[in-house]
Amino acid sequence: MKIYTKTGDKGQTSLIGARTDKDAPRVEAYGTIDEVNSFIGKAMTELAPETYADLLEDLEAIQNELFDCGGDLADVRKEPNYKMTEEPVEVLEKRIDELMEEPPLLERFILPGGTPAAATLHIARTITRRAERQTVTLLKSGEDFPPVVQRYLNRLSDYLFAASRVVNSRANVPDNEYVRSAKVFKNGGRSKKSVE
């Protein structure tokens, strides 16, 4: 089976129910979600199962949910078959709260980095923010897709921040604070409302 079709050689690609330009905002959004998924996969290869079994379980579920998000963005049929629900958002909120209890108290912004896995999770976090911005643009322009996708991406970026801190904490690698940061986190960064 050949994986190339040549149908995209003129700059168009297939959605579920239509074709569109490869640089269409909807394609940009689900393409960015694919980037997030790839960096999460990279982070998973950098996490030792004996230390990070819970995070690996989370991340595998997240990879599947990101495919659901991408599929929902690609579905432009009159009667789409959306997959995303509120449940994964609620699961992420629960896990964020649990994870933020583990690392040292946080008062200031931190610099992305630490262990290789934490650095990779920070990359995934920033790309997730870009995907979220792109979905906000789609929603504002009246594009039809489930708004839960944008909410999920918002929570996911918070989860990836929390997970990166846990990875460093379990490896006994301190987070590097931004030296000119004011104290910006309430309750030592324990509240999920500390990050937006």
> What is the structure's pLDDT at 63?
98
Whether 39 is in a domain gets the answer yes
Higher pLDDT pick, 105 / 135:
135
Range of the domain at 94: 21-171
Whether 98 is in a domain gets the answer yes
Query: For residue 192, is pLDDT > 60?
Result: no
Whether 145 is in a domain gets the answer yes
Instruction: Grade residue 195 by pLDDT with cuts at 50, 70 and 90.
Output: very low
d(CA 190, CA 196): 13
Matching residue, tokens 């594009």: 143
Whether 183 is in a domain gets the answer no
> What is the structure's pLDDT at 42?
98
Instruction: Grade residue 184 by pLDDT with cuts at 50, 70 and 90.
Output: confident
Query: For residue 165, is pLDDT > 90?
Result: yes
For the record, the structure tokens of 33 come out as 């979600």
> Residue 78: which CATH number?
1.20.1200.10
pLDDT tens-digit map of 74-106: 998 899 999 999 999 999 999 999 999 999 888
> In 5-19, which positions are buried (b, 16+ CB within 10 angstroms) versus exposed (e)?
eeeeeeeeeebeeee
> What is the mean predicted confidence (pLDDT) over 160-189?
89
Whether 124 is in a domain gets the answer yes
Domain count, the chain: 1
pTM to 2 decimals? 0.90
Whether 148 is in a domain gets the answer yes
Mean pLDDT of the residues in the chain: 90
Whether 15 is in a domain gets the answer no
pLDDT tens-digit map of 17-27: 777 767 788 99
pLDDT tens-digit map of 13-72: 777 777 776 778 899 999 999 999 999 999 999 999 999 999 999 999 999 999 999 999
Q: Look at residues 31, 41, 181, 45 and name the one whose alpha carbon lies nearest to residue 107.
A: 181
Whether 178 is in a domain gets the answer no
